[in-house]
Amino acid sequence: MAEVIRMPLLSDTMTEGVIAEWHKKVGDTVKSDDVIAEVETDKATMEVVGYVDGTLLYIGVEKGQAAKVNQIIAIVGKPGEDYKPLLEEAPASSSQEPAKNEAAPAPTAAPAAASFDKAAADEALKNATVIRMPLLSDTMTEGKIVAWNKKVGDTVKSDDVLADVETDKATMEVIGYADGTLLYIGVKEGDAAKVNDIIAIVGKKGTNVDAILAMENNSGSAAPASTEEAPTASTSSAPAASASEAATGTGEEGRVKASPLAKKLAAEKGIDLSKVTGSGDNGRIVKRDVDNYVPSAAPAQAAKTATAGAATYIAGEEGHTDLPLSQMRKVIARRLGESKFSAPHFYLTMEINMDKAMEARKAINEISPVKVSFNDMVIKASAMALRKHPEVNSSWMGDFIRQNQHIHIGSAVAIEDGLIVPVIKFADQKSLSQIAGEAKELYDKAKNKKLQPQEFSGNTFSISNLGMMGIDQFTAIINPPDSAILAVGGIKETVVVEKGQFKATNIMKITLSCDHRSIDGAVGATFLQTLKGYLENPVTMLV
């Protein structure tokens, strides 16, 4: 059955997006991980992935035109498949003869997908807004509802945060951009929903939610797995009570008033919420309060909590612990698995004499407003080397190779849930102090799960540095859509022979992982030679 591709919500302030480019045309074969279009939002130009296999049957928005969030921009299905009924149903602009009597919300199971009253659905959509799981990162396929900040029956304003969603890269807030009453919640806390699944409906009280859900089921779009009916008090009372306890803090956890996301972040950071001052309504603690909290004796409490939660091991007995996968871990497994087994990797290793780099860094930090690290120097040198070797600053696109004219360096950061790659954009055009300042800000945001989509997407080349952990040398898996990634080891004092004399030299080993489909061995080798020249003589980076 054909699948509808809608304009995703790519930033927390986005209401519409402009199609900057279509990468597919009607009739083209589309894979689930293909980038079908580029969309310009209010903050960045980002890629739209369809997440379905088939043939592109329909393009609803021409290049250069804008579409509102959740508007149909394309349809993918089988060749020759009739997709027009999907277009007739989605806009709620046309009507047909009613198939049944006047509908009213009923406390029954979820509506069947076999038939639906289109006239009733059209009328309901005039008074309600469907909230779907937004695309919050370029690699996201589903999101997990961490917490609902509203319950069924609550009044909702257009700028209210409805829910907190955990993606593969961060925990982010979902805003409904609609005024009204929360009529329906389609995904419970702790459950996941695929991108574009219905997660909530906001509108006027008394709106026929069943008709909207029946139309969604009939159209072949992702239907809500939950069978709870929003308009009925009986089916929503349990989750409403749970949400109320979490929001007011009057449950078993104590009398502290805190939002669910604030509680989650506080638990992760080992922060005692009783010591945090709330800035929300009636002193309620919200996410920003936890983010801005400066702990005093919090580390000891965090250590105590970690010890209490540790597994108990009994000598002589076998055992194991099954850990649930976070959204981030799922995407790491999928994306890097695809990269490793689809991109033919080859590896080039080189030793760098860091004596002059160490001297230069010391001199730079005496005048730099921000402390410059060796990793910042590697980022700058890599960016300048990429400018001379554009073949490495490329992406394999299936039937062509894309050489990027801009240089965006991704720098991998290890966080509690896995790995994320903040991106320093236009790195070749920035000074070392600018790179250092921006990198520090991005790393702090990454560790606090505050990165925005535009800050961890768009990389054209990546760097992974384990030198600070005592690793001399390693190989890294290419981070799609890049064609290469640089693995950086630690600086180690090594005895070498120079002109028949022994001397101690500071050596750093780097390994370049290349996608052989877009980069040949000689190309990768010459890139490393240029990079080596910049690092061994840092003055050349300033010319």
Residues in the chain: 543
C-alpha distance from residue 139 to each of 3, 314, 327 (Å): 19, 41, 11
- Residue whose pair of structure tokens reads 């760097």 in the numeric block: 463
Q: How many other CB atoms are found less than 10 A from the CB of residue 55?
A: 18
State the greatest distance between any 2 C-alpha atoms of the chain, in Å, as a whole number: 98
d(C-alpha 208, C-alpha 231), whole Å: 9
CA angle 502, 505, 506 (to 5 degrees): 160
Distance CA 5, CA 221 (A): 10
Long-range contacts of 220-223 (CB under 8 A, 24+ apart): 220/1, 220/2, 220/3, 220/86, 221/3, 221/4, 221/196, 221/197, 222/193, 222/194, 222/196, 222/197, 222/198, 223/110, 223/113, 223/197, 223/198
Active site residue 472: no
| Helix, strand, coil share (%) of the chain residues, nearest 5 | 30, 25, 45
Q: What are phi and psi of 311, to 5 degrees?
A: -70, 150
d(CA 138, CA 459): 11
Q: What is the 3-state secondary structure (H, E, C) of 328-378?
A: HHHHHHHHHHHHHHHCCEEEEEEEEECHHHHHHHHHHHCCCCCCCCHHHHH
The CA distance from 523 to 543, in Å, is: 24
Partnered with residue 534 across adjacent β-strands are none
82 an active-site residue? no
Pairing between strand 345-353 and 501-515? antiparallel
Could you give the CA distance from residue 520 to residue 498 in angstroms, rounded to a whole number? 32
Structure tokens at 422: 């903040």
Specify the 3-state DSSP secondary structure of 20. Answer: strand
What does residue 85 show for φ and ψ, rounded to 5 degrees?
-60, -30
Phi, psi of 383, rounded to the nearest 5 degrees:
-60, -40
Distance CA 212, CA 189 (A): 22
Cβ–Cβ under 8 Å, residues 348 and 519: no
Give the catalytic positions in this structure.
Answer: 516, 520
